[in-house]
Amino acid sequence: MLSDALLPDRRGPRLKGLHLELPLDRMVKFIAVGFPLLLMSLAFAQEFSSGPPIRCFSPSNFSIRQAAYVDGSCWDSLIHHEQDELGQNKMKSLWPHKALPYSLLALAVVMYLPVLLWQYAAQPALSSDLLFIISELDKSYNRSIRLVQHMLKIRQKSSDPHVFWDELEKARKERYFEFPLLERYLACKQRSHSLVATYLLRNSLLLLFTSAIYLYLGHFHLDVFFQEEFSCSIKTGLLSDETHVPHLITCRLTSLSILQIVSLSSLTIYTLLVPVIIYNLTRLCRWDKRLLSIYEMLPAFDLLSRKMLGCPINDLNVILLFLRANISELNSFSWLSVLCVLKDTTTQKHNIDTVVDFMTLLAGLEPTKPKHLTQRVCDENP
């Protein structure tokens, strides 16, 4: 039974499915980067399917080629001419219509920069941390199982029952880890802040770029959001002295609906992403107590619970979040979770604190010294 509880050694390719991004971070990345690319493809598809994004009402005496020249010239300039209250000419640029697909591409590139920052500044170190910690946690669990096997062999070979109970008491109180590297490593990670600083910088940049999107939409798109028609002047260059060419020609923007859809959908999507990004930041302000309590069942493994009262904004908390995201790679977690559930159902009958206690009970032995042996020791040592 105890041999079945041992975890197999990982001797093949180590943890190929390791997740180096949290699920919510991955969702934010796909939406923040993929959504503007989707809108960009929509803008290009509308241009190819509906023809030119502008239609000008040229004079009736213009030929087809002259009308096409007017459309091209007005689309190149995209300047609206109007007169103010004092009768002076006033010009307003409508360039957001022309720059719409390229601004969406630039938005996707900018929103991908925090992802690149995390990928090159944090993922290499995080990958090595997770590989070591997952391996050591599984080894610590196996050491506990082998310790119970060792004590059972002592029980079978020794005729003195006190030897077994002395070994069991040592297993509860003393450190049976030959190299307590894991505890020291986790304590070192609690004093380190490189991972948490990179994670904070990544999400802060996302919030900063989202604020820049609001400014861009409010300053540039809002100014042309409702303007479907504009007055275009083509009396420039060789046509400036032509009397048969009107001074202003009215043009209609057929791509206005695309700009409105892009503006409203971008504002909605990135507004919905803001609470998710803020939630990702707030997770650094608390410990994952359930994950910590599960591994307190390991003998002499109380470093995490002892340090949990400190400030959670450190690399150890980030690693715990990624351990939770890679819980499928942590084979010992499922075994310890089952033992914790069973321990809660037996706490009224037995004093079970560690996996050694529970495995001893499952092996058919009492986890506490029998009363007649305790009384015998007291009689021998009055």
Reported as a single tens digit per residue, the pLDDT across 369-380 is 554 444 444 444
Residue 236 — φ and ψ, nearest 5°? -135, 155
Q: pLDDT for 241-260, tens place per residue?
A: 666 777 788 888 887 888 88
Tell me: the pLDDT tens digits for 65-84? 878 888 788 888 778 777 66
pLDDT bucket at 86, cuts 50 / 70 / 90: low
pLDDT computed for residue 292 by the predictor? 74
* Mean pLDDT within 269-293: 89
Task: Please give the angle made by the CA atoms of 356, 327 and 194, to the nearest 5 degrees.
Answer: 105
Residue 291, pLDDT score = 78
| Closest to 57 (Cα-Cα) out of 255, 229, 239 | 229
Residue-wise over 154-186: b if at least 16 C-beta within 10 A, else e?
A: ebeeeeeeeebbeebeebbeeebbeebebbeeb
Mean residue pLDDT across the chain: 77
Residue 266's pLDDT band, with cuts at 50, 70 and 90, is: very high
- Threshold 0.85, pTM exceeds: no
Express each pLDDT in 46-56 by its tens digit.
777 776 778 88
Q: Quote the CA–CA distance of 298 and 294 in Å, as a whole number.
A: 9
Q: pLDDT by residue (tens digit) across 293-352?
A: 777 777 656 655 555 557 888 998 999 899 999 988 888 888 777 777 766 665 545 555
* Cα gap 328→180, rounded to integer Å: 24
If pLDDT is split at 50, 70 and 90, which confidence band does 95 have?
Answer: confident
Quick one: pLDDT at residue 137? 83
Q: How far is CA 129 from CA 70, 81, 361, in A?
A: 64, 63, 34
- Tell me the mean pLDDT in the region 195-207: 96
Instruction: Output the pLDDT for position 379.
Output: 45
Q: Tokens for 34, please give them.
A: 């993929």
pLDDT band at residue 1 using 50, 70 and 90 as cut-offs = very low
Among positive and negative, which fits the CA dihedral 131, 132, 137, 143?
positive
Inform me whether the pLDDT recorded for 268 exceeds 80: yes
Q: Can you name the residues that pair with 230 across neighbouring β-strands? A: 251
The pLDDT, as a whole number, for residue 97 is 84
Mean pLDDT of 146-162: 65
Position 372 scores a pLDDT of 46
Q: Look at the block and give the residue holding tokens 């032995």.
A: 365
Q: Coil, strand or helix: which one is 17?
A: coil
CA distances from 124 to 17, 46, 72, 190, 203 (A): 15, 42, 52, 18, 19
Host H or E run for residue 50: helix 23-50
Cα 294 from Cα 3, distance rounded (Å): 21
Q: Average pLDDT of 107-120?
A: 95
Looking at per-residue confidence, does 134 or 355 come out higher?
134
Q: How many residues comprise the chain?
A: 382
| Integer Cα distance of 206 and 110 in angstroms | 9
